[in-house]
């Protein structure tokens, strides 16, 4: 009985502890210290070294330690026939909605301006829009997007969602497919990206799409850095078409020291912390899939390799 963790750039000890605490007696290995290659059947992965999975002839399932699986599917040497699963967890969902709401409210109420004013002891009130007068567009109406949209709607914002297939959601307007993208974008005072990274969604936040947002729109990207064309965002901010952006994810993470986003006055950078998987709560679904795999049963939270999410 063993689970093997494949990860670069993230501390694995919380996962090791959570697995061992919940299932005493389970062997937990951390790549490259895997033990005999033929005994590796179940992997837990985040940003694994490319090609690493190719060396394990009996590997049956790779579970992402996060909601996204682009980091697994992008491996050109990913063995065929392996099931890929991902995390769907209430804590992860709530934390994303909370983070996005904080960014939205910070922007709508202009809180950063008062921090700056405080530095110069300046007492100056600014007008603000009420939530009912702000339209929010959520790209990606999956587990995270749907909940975030509903939370924002509860605060009084007008919310629209955009997804691949049509949705019906109380209180939230919905748009689907490329044919409805322009209409969706044209309404969004604040655009939130919660799409998975796939060949269809890469570079989707570009000069053309962001240019279709109303003048003064604000962009929040909490999905993946590769969704955004960095130079196009900067150009639209500098032209005054967009009023600002909150970015939690980047093409290269950590964001390189010399990247212009760090210094841009209209960009708020956070280090991929919008919602972090909590191993203590997510470990039960990992173990459930591990047991299902061993008993030959269907797995939960399975990713479609054809769709890429
Ligand atoms: P889901 O798979 O549940 O939802 C994906 C949504 O995107 C679905 O509504 C889907 O449409 C839609 N979608 C996919 N492809 C397209 C397309 N081509 N055009 C229009 N809509 C599309 O994902 P989650 O909500 O669980 O997670 C979303 C992403 O959030 C993750 O992939 C990850 O990258 C990111 N994330 C970021 C975190 C952070 O801390 N910054 C933390 C966790 C996740 P349909 O419903 O029709 O299938
Ligand atoms: C995830 C992430 O996909 O942390 O869960 O980005």
pLDDT digits (tens, 9 = 90+) for 203-212: 999 999 999 9
| Average pLDDT, integer, range 100-114 | 97
Q: Give, for 291, the enclosing helix (H) or strand (E).
A: helix 279-294
| Average pLDDT, integer, range 159-183 | 97
- The single-letter DSSP state of residue 215 is T
Q: Counting ligands in written order, which one lies closest to the CA of residue 225?
A: 1
pLDDT, residue 153, reads 98
Evaluate: CB of 195 within 6 angstroms of ligand 1. yes
Report the phi/psi class of residue 177: left, alpha or beta, with left for phi > 0 and alpha for psi in -120 to 50.
Answer: left
7-27 burial by CB neighbour count: b if 16+ within 10 A, else e? beeeebeebbebbeeebeeee
Q: How far apart are CA 262 and CA 259, in angstroms?
A: 6
Q: How far apart are CA 80 and CA 120, in angstroms?
A: 61
Q: How far apart are the first and last CA of the chain?
A: 28
Give the residue, by CA position, lying nearest to ligand 1 atom 48: 164
Cα 286 to ligand 2 centre (Å): 15
Q: How far apart are CA 225 and CA 271, in angstroms?
A: 11
C-alpha dihedral (296, 302, 304, 309), degrees to nearest 10:
-160
Q: How far apart are CA 174 and CA 150, in angstroms?
A: 12
In this prediction, residue 145 has a pLDDT band, given cuts at 50, 70 and 90, of: very high
> Does residue 67 have a pLDDT over 90?
yes
| Average pLDDT, integer, range 64-68 | 98
Give the residue, by CA position, lying nearest to ligand 2 atom 2: 66
Answer whether the bond into residue 55 is a cis peptide, omega within 30°.
no
CA distances from 203 to 78, 124, 209, 253 (A): 24, 39, 10, 17
Evaluate: CB of 137 within 6 angstroms of ligand 1. no
pLDDT, residue 9, reads 80
Q: How far apart are CA 272 and CA 68, in angstroms?
A: 13
Evaluate: CB of 221 within 6 angstroms of ligand 1. no
In this prediction, residue 126 has a pLDDT band, given cuts at 50, 70 and 90, of: very high
In this prediction, residue 156 has a pLDDT band, given cuts at 50, 70 and 90, of: very high
The candidate with the shortest Cα–Cα distance to 94, out of 148, 135, 18, 167, is 148
pLDDT, residue 1, reads 77
Cα 122 to ligand 2 centre (Å): 40
Q: Counting ligands in written order, which one lies closest to the CA of residue 143?
A: 1
| Average pLDDT, integer, range 119-139 | 98
| Average pLDDT, integer, range 169-181 | 97
- The single-letter DSSP state of residue 225 is G
| Average pLDDT, integer, range 155-165 | 98
Known catalytic residues are 224, 272
Q: Which residues, listed in sequence order, are joined to residue 27 by a DSSP beta bridge?
A: 2
212-222 burial by CB neighbour count: b if 16+ within 10 A, else e? bbeeebbbbbb
Give the residue, by CA position, lying nearest to ligand 1 atom 19: 164
Joined tokens for residue 307: 């769709």
**Ligand 2 atom index nearest CA of 69:** 3
CA distances from 43 to 289, 293, 301 (A): 11, 12, 15
Evaluate: CB of 65 within 6 angstroms of ligand 2. no
Evaluate: CB of 140 within 6 angstroms of ligand 1. yes
> Does residue 254 have a pLDDT over 90?
yes
Evaluate: CB of 66 within 6 angstroms of ligand 1. yes
> Does residue 82 have a pLDDT over 80?
yes
Task: Write the burial class of residue 118 (CB in 10 Å: 0-12 exposed, 13-18 middle, 19+ buried).
Answer: exposed
Joined tokens for residue 198: 């796939």
| Average pLDDT, integer, range 138-167 | 98
Residue range 208-228, pLDDT digits in tens = 999 999 999 999 999 999 999
Give the residue, by CA position, lying nearest to ligand 2 atom 4: 66
**Spacing of C-alpha 243 from chain mean position:** 23
Residue range 255-271, pLDDT digits in tens = 999 999 999 999 999 99
| Average pLDDT, integer, range 223-239 | 99
Q: Hey, is 30 helix, strand or coil?
A: strand
pLDDT, residue 208, reads 98
**Ligand 1 atom index nearest CA of 163:** 21
Are 204 and 139 a contacting pair, CB within 8 Å?
A: yes
Give the residue, by CA position, lying nearest to ligand 1 atom 16: 164
Report the residue among 144, 275, 286, 303 best suited for mutation to probe ligand 2: largest number of ligand atoms under 8 A from its CB.
275
Q: How far apart are CA 89 and CA 303, in angstroms?
A: 15
In this prediction, residue 60 has a pLDDT band, given cuts at 50, 70 and 90, of: very high
> Does residue 104 have a pLDDT over 90?
yes
> Does residue 290 have a pLDDT over 80?
yes
Cα 84 to ligand 2 centre (Å): 15
In this prediction, residue 24 has a pLDDT band, given cuts at 50, 70 and 90, of: very high
């Amino acid at each position: 009985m063993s689970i093997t963790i494949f990860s670069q750039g993230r501390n694995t000890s919380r996962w090791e502890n959570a697995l061992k605490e919940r299932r005493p007696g389970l062997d937990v290995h951390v790549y490259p210290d895997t033990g005999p290659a033929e005994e590796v059947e179940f992997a837990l992965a985040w940003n694994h070294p490319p090609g690493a999975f190719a060396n394990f002839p009996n590997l049956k399932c790779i579970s992402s330690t996060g909601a996204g699986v682009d980091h697994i599917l992008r491996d050109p040497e990913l063995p065929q026939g392996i099931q890929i699963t991902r995390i769907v967890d209430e804590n992860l969902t709530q934390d994303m909605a909370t983070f996005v709401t904080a960014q939205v409210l910070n922007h709508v109420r202009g809180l950063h301006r008062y921090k700056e004013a405080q530095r110069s002891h300046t007492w100056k009130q600014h007008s603000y829009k009420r939530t009912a007068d702000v339209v929010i567009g959520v790209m990606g109406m999956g587990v995270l997007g749907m909940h975030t949209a509903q939370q924002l709607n509860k605060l009084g914002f007008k919310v629209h969602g955009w997804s691949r297939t049509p949705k019906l959601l109380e209180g939230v307007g919905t748009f689907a497919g490329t044919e409805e993208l322009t209409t969706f974008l044209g309404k969004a005072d604040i655009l939130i990206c919660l799409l998975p990274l796939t060949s269809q969604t890469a570079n989707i936040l570009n000069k053309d799409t962001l240019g279709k947002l109303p003048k003064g729109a604000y962009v929040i990207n909490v999905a993946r850095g590769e969704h955004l064309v960095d130079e196009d965002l900067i150009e639209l901010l500098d032209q005054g078409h967009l009023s600002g952006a909150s970015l939690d994810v980047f093409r290269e993470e950590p964001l390189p020291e010399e990247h212009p986003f760090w210094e841009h006055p209209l960009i708020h950078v956070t280090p991929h912390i919008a919602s972090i998987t909590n191993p203590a709560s997510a470990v039960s679904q990992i173990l459930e899939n591990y047991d299902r795999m061993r008993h030959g049963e269907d797995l939960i939270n399975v990713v479609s390799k054809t769709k890429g999410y």
